[in-house]
Amino acid sequence: MAYSWFKAFHLVGIVVWFAGLFYLVRLFIYHVEANEEPEPARTILKKQYQVMEQRLYSIITTPGMLVTVAMAIGLLTTEPQVLKEPWLHVKLLFVVLLIGYHHYCKRLMKQLAEDQCAWGSQQLRALNEAPTVMLVVIVLLAVFKNNLPTDITAWGIVGLVIAMAATIQLYAKKRRRDKEAALSQQS
């Protein structure tokens, strides 16, 4: 029975953590793009994004990460033999990378607050794809374990994920060009 409780709250933690990570970097993008706005809008927007980023990180994202990790430890205590499985070692590697990403977001948040962030909105959009890739890998490992499919269907799904990421990037590029064109027409 403990296993089911740990698993249920592990999944809840994952959903909360990833929701926070996805939205946090989106706020970073808006924060950086606020620099293009005239005063006083620039200052007002940057202050608002800073508050939103801090609250999201502290109240949603970090607790989601802590619940995820705590429940994972609970799961491992109920089934310690799974620690010998190679798929879990790879999954844990990606979880460690994800935790590193989480803390790197905190660093970017501090840089944005101090107007020291060197990242542009396009770079942040690309950075925002990292947790998606990690989520896909982690879920596939959790579901398929040591039997991760490598057939044409699996590669098709990988291709779809890559195509989705490329489409998002192309759309962002188009929006940026349209905005630049509109600004040049106003001049």
CA 175 to chain centre: 22
CA neighbor of 98 nearest in space, from 166, 22, 169, 31: 22
pLDDT of amino acid 182: 84
Q: What is the rounded (10 degree) CA torsion for 60, 61, 67, 69? A: 180
Is the Cβ–Cβ distance between 139 and 15 less than 8 Å?
no
pLDDT averaged over every residue in the chain: 92
Q: Reply yes or no on whether the pLDDT at 110 is more than 90.
A: yes
Rounded-to-integer distance, Cα 9 and Cα 66, Å: 11
Q: Binding site for heme: residue ranges? A: 10, 91
Tokens standing for residue 117: 């962030």
Is the Cβ–Cβ distance between 87 and 32 less than 8 Å?
no
Q: Binding site: residue ranges? A: 10, 91
CA neighbor of 85 nearest in space, from 137, 136, 142: 142
pLDDT band (50, 70, 90) for residue 98 = very high
Inter-axis angle of helices 2-33 and 41-55, nearest 10: 170
Select the more confidently predicted residue: 15 or 1: 15
pLDDT of amino acid 186: 81
pLDDT of amino acid 183: 79
What does pTM read for this prediction? 0.82
